[in-house]
Structure 1
Amino acid sequence: MSINSSVAGSGAASNASAAILAGRVLLSVLFILSGFAKLTAISGTAQWFGSIGLPLPTVAAVGSGLLEFFGGLAILVGFKTRIVAIVLGIFTLAATAIAHLDFADQMQMLMLQKNLGITGGFLLLSVLGAGAYSVDAKRG
């Protein structure tokens, strides 16, 4: 039984969809803002990416900025939510492996833990879907 097929009148489906919407909003804000920041400061982002050893740092900056910005927007409105959640979850784990594994730096450990939590949120979205308050629900 899915979240969207709960017994009518119980309010459970509505509450679940409202909670999923709140989760989508909270997850998406981080990615929309981060993507926008990367896209409006390509050279600075590319410089930092180069300093941590990423190949083709400008391409990586543009690609990650576009993925974060448009992926965040897709999560926000609930468009292709399950697929985008998987992609952003994998992206978040990859970013963690690339930039947040300095176990001697307490800030990097905090970033690692934050990213694992974010990935958990994306895993839940990939299973639950976007809920009733979404483009996905209106399309299907």
Structure 2
Amino acid sequence: MSTTNNAVILVARILLSFIFILSGFGKLADPAATAGMITGAGLPAATALAYLAGLFELVTGLAVLVGFQVKIVGWALALFCIFTGAVFHSGTVAIPGWPDAALGWINTLNQIMMMKNFTLAGAYILLATVGAGAYSLDARRGAASVVTA
């Protein structure tokens, strides 16, 4: 793989890591909003799941950033994005007492969030397929998740 391609993969990994590093840290620091969404989706143990989601996001985000186990982490994040998009962003939002105009805006934003999650899933599948590139821990370890051709 060319130096340019490896640099592009590094930039892509950096950009793809930010959302989960920041989101994971936020969930661990204050899980209340996430726990509320989990409760609203009808899932049990909302606070525990919020902490688990935060830990998962932080650890996988850091793994993408440094290029560690990218094939496995890429697939895990793709599945996570599809799951969270379908479960938390596919329906309409109804907040009692809110004006219709505000609910319309919130539902549009929710649809955008679902599309964002599915788009990110595609990016993580591509990353899992291509590998971490030469500028990664996987490459330093001689891991199979680095594509060299």
Q: Same fold (TM over 0.5)?
A: yes
Structure 2 residue ranges without an equivalent (≥5):
93-103, 143-149
1:48 shift after superposition: 3.2
Select which of 105, 108, 122 maps to 1:120.
Answer: 122
Select which of 37, 60, 67 maps to 2:26.
Answer: 37
1:106 and 2:95 correspond? no
- 1:93 equivalent in structure 2: 82
Aligned residue identity for 1:71: T
1:115 shift after superposition: 1.0
* Contact 2:85–2:115 (Cα < 8 Å) also in 1: no
- 2:11 equivalent in structure 1: 22
For each residue in 1:76-111, what CA deviation from the matched residue of structure 2 results, as whole angstroms up to 9, or x when unmatched?
000001100100110111001111102672111111
- 1:64 equivalent in structure 2: 53
Q: Tell me, in whole angstroms, the C-alpha distance in 1 between the residues paired with 2:109 and 2:6.
A: 34
- 2:146 equivalent in structure 1: none
Aligned residue identity for 2:45: L
Would you identify which runs of 4 or more consecutive aligned residues in structure 1 move more than 4 Å? none
For each residue in 1:115-138, what CA deviation from the matched residue of structure 2 results, as whole angstroms up to 9, or x when unmatched?
111111101111100000000000
Aligned residue identity for 2:22: L
1:36 shift after superposition: 0.3
1:44 shift after superposition: 3.7
- 1:135 equivalent in structure 2: 137
Q: Tell me, in whole angstroms, the C-alpha distance in 1 between the residues paired with 2:109 and 2:8.
A: 30
Structure 1 residue ranges without an equivalent (≥5):
4-12
Instruction: Provide the secondary structure at the position in 1 that maps to 2:134.
Output: coil
Give TM-score, length-normalised by structure 1. 0.87
1:52 shift after superposition: 2.8
1:62 shift after superposition: 1.0
1:54 and 2:43 correspond? yes
Q: Tell me, in whole angstroms, the C-alpha distance in 1 between the residues paired with 2:34 and 2:123.
A: 26
61-70 vs 50-59, which moves further:
50-59
Q: Tell me, in whole angstroms, the C-alpha distance in 2 between the residues paired with 1:106 and 1:86.
A: 28
1:84 and 2:73 correspond? yes
Give TM-score, length-normalised by structure 2. 0.82
109-118 vs 45-54, which moves further:
45-54
